[in-house]
Amino acid sequence: MYVILVYDIGEKRVGKMLKLCRKYLNWIQNSVFEGEISDVKLKELTIHAEKMMKEEDSLIIFSGRSEKWMDKQIIGKEKSSVDNFL
């Protein structure tokens, strides 16, 4: 399935959350990720995320059967694909 994931996390936990999400998805903006992922892997990701989140944190996951239903338009600075290898 295709997902878009966005988080709003306390500064102290941002690094850990970033690292977790990058294990499963492509990083496309500061706190935004997208990619193809299986149900099982997504469940795994959300379980790990929930464990590190505090009360004021928020994580939204949009999911669809396929990327083809969504168009993506990027205005301004685009994350270099090199980021995927950092």
Q: Is residue 11 within the footprint of its own copies (CB under 8 A)?
A: no
- Is residue 17 within a helix (H) or strand (E), and if so which, with residue range? helix 11-24
Per CB under 8 A, the list member of 51, 71, 82, 86 interacting with its own copies is 71
Per CB under 8 A, the list member of 70, 81, 83, 84 interacting with its own copies is 70
Take residue 35 and report the two structure tokens written for it. 């990619």
Q: Is residue 80 within the footprint of its own copies (CB under 8 A)?
A: no
CB 53, CB 85: distance < 8 Å? no
Shortest spacing between CB 61 and its own copies, in angstroms:
5
Which residues does 3 contact at the CB level (< 8 Å), separation at least 6?
25, 33, 34, 35, 37, 42, 61, 62, 63, 64
- Residues lying near its own copies in the complex (CB under 8 A): 4, 6, 8, 28-32, 46, 49-50, 53, 55-65, 69-79
